Every structure is written in C-alpha cells, then in structure tokens.
C-alpha cells in the first residue's frame, strides 16, 4: 500500500530557481521523511519532520507539514544542477509497524 | 557513517534460477528491509526483519523469501526467478527504535532473462 503521493511527477526548472514538491498521505502519521535518489543509486535521507512540527529547515531545504490537510511540501531554494534527482516522501505505515511507505517520487531536473 | 553494502551492482540471471541478493550493514542496526523499485510504481516493500531470525512480509512478498542468520546480514532469495522480477532491489536498515530514517545501499539492478 502506498501512503504518500508526490506531486508533480516531474519538474524542470532553471538553476537558481526554487523547486517545490508536494506530498499527500491518507492516514495519521508519526513522522514524514523526504529522501533523494540520484539516477540508478540508493536513496539518501534528507529530512524528517514529526507530526507535532509544522516547519523544518536544513540548509537550502525547507519542509512543511500540515496534518489537517495530510500534506507536506519540500522546497529547495536556489537550486543547482547537482540537485537533479528524484525526491520521495515516506511515512510510517498506517498499521503502526516500523516500516516506511514511500510514494512514487518527483523527478526534478535543474537545467544549468 | 553507516554503510549498507549490497553485494552486486548488476546481476543477470536466467528464468528458473535461484537468486541470492546479499546485504550487509555495519552499524549494529536492528531493522533491515528489502524494497524493489520499478518505474511508475515507486518503492514497494518486499520483506523486513526487526531481529535475527525474525521476518515480516511487506506488501509484495510473493515469489521471495529472506534469511537473517546474523544481525548484520539480510539476504533476499528468489526461489525461481521470473522475468517479472526484473527490477532494482534496494536494501535498507535503521537502528530500530521507531520510524527512524533509513540508510540505503546502492541497489542491485537485477535482470532475469
């Protein structure tokens, strides 16, 4: 079962612009995480936001969480060509087990 | 840094073969996971393990089995490989204290011909 769904599926921007990706989920969560995947490689954890937090920052990343709308957004500011990757949100399973459930991802292309 | 190592980056096997995908982590993590990733479908959980010799089915366990004889090693077994098991396989681990971030290996791209 997939809990998170990212939007848009693909995003193409110019270097220096901001990139915003959204994630919607269906049931109550304990936390929501964002991961990045370079082409053909494993995923790398970017940031975790807990259900009692509304916003979190890490470098050029800003994550927001709206539990009333069951949605989250990832903002990458001043994007660089090296930010080109797929981005996934992940939430804990609605059954309460310790497994994470991933969405299908947003493919971001940053053009130099 | 945590290191999760998958034994093969690319693997080509024939239909009907028994296939072993190996994953080793070096941080004494309790939880280990196997996902497969397919275009348009994202990551789907096959199996996970929260302790040695313990395992739980994920969302798509059919056609797969797992083995965790030692804490650091989690193996995914395709009993009789089929072409629809051609996919990217990703191993991950975490300390196991509750919904913490996952550390992923680099993945194994398996082709079944």
pLDDT digits (tens, 9 = 90+) for B69-80: 999 999 999 999
Is A48 touching B (CB cutoff 8 A)?
A: yes
In three-state secondary structure terms, B83 is helix
| Per-residue pLDDT at A27 | 84
With beta carbons under 8 A apart, name residues in chain A contacting B56. Answer: 97, 99
Is B59 touching A (CB cutoff 8 A)?
A: yes
Is A39 touching B (CB cutoff 8 A)?
A: no
pLDDT digits (tens, 9 = 90+) for A59-112: 999 999 999 999 999 999 999 999 999 999 999 866 666 678 888 999 999 999
| Per-residue pLDDT at A94 | 60
Instruction: Note which residues in 82-111 of chain A have CB less than 8 A from chain B.
Output: 88, 90, 92, 97-105
Which DSSP category does A70 fall into?
T
Highest mean pLDDT among A20-24, B37-41, B98-102: A20-24
Is A51 touching B (CB cutoff 8 A)?
A: no
Listed in sequence order, the DSSP H helices in B2-113 are none
Contacts of A28 (CB under 8 A, 6+ apart): A51, A67, A94
Q: Are B42 and A105 within 8 A, CB to CB? A: yes
- Residue B39 pLDDT grade (very low, low, confident, very high; cuts 50, 70, 90): confident
pLDDT digits (tens, 9 = 90+) for B2-30: 699 998 999 999 999 999 999 999 999 99
Contacts of A70 (CB under 8 A, 6+ apart): A24, A25, A26, A27
| Per-residue pLDDT at B6 | 96
- Residue B97 pLDDT grade (very low, low, confident, very high; cuts 50, 70, 90): low
| Per-residue pLDDT at A38 | 93
* Strands in chain A per DSSP E: 5-7, 10-14, 19-24, 31-37, 43-50, 55-58, 61-66, 71-76, 85-92, 100-102, 106-111
Q: Are A104 and B106 within 8 A, CB to CB? A: no
Interface test with A, best of B31, B32, B35, B42 (most A CBs within 10 A): B42
| Per-residue pLDDT at A2 | 53
Q: Are B43 and A41 within 8 A, CB to CB? A: no
């Amino acid at each position: 079962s997939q809990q998170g769904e990212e939007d848009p599926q693909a995003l193409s921007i110019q270097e220096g612009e901001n990139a915003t990706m959204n994630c919607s989920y269906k049931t109550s969560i304990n936390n929501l995480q964002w991961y990045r995947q370079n082409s053909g490689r494993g995923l790398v954890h970017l940031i975790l936001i807990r259900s009692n937090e509304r916003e979190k920052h890490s470098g050029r990343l800003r994550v927001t969480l709206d539990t009333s709308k069951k949605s989250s957004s990832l903002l990458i500011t001043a994007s660089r060509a090296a930010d080109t990757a797929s981005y996934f949100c992940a939430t804990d399973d609605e059954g309460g087990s310790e497994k994470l459930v991933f969405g299908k991802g947003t493919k971001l292309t940053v053009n130099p | 840094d945590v290191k999760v190592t998958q034994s093969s980056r690319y693997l080509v096997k024939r239909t009907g073969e028994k296939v072993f995908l190996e994953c080793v982590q070096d941080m004494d993590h309790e939880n280990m996971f196997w996902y497969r990733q397919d275009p348009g479908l994202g990551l789907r959980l096959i199996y996970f393990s929260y302790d040695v010799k313990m395992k739980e089915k994920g969302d798509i366990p059919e056609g797969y089995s797992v083995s965790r004889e030692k804490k650091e090693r989690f193996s995914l077994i395709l009993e009789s490989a089929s072409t629809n098991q051609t996919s990217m396989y990703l191993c991950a681990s975490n300390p196991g204290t509750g919904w913490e971030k996952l550390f992923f290996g680099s993945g194994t791209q398996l082709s079944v011909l």
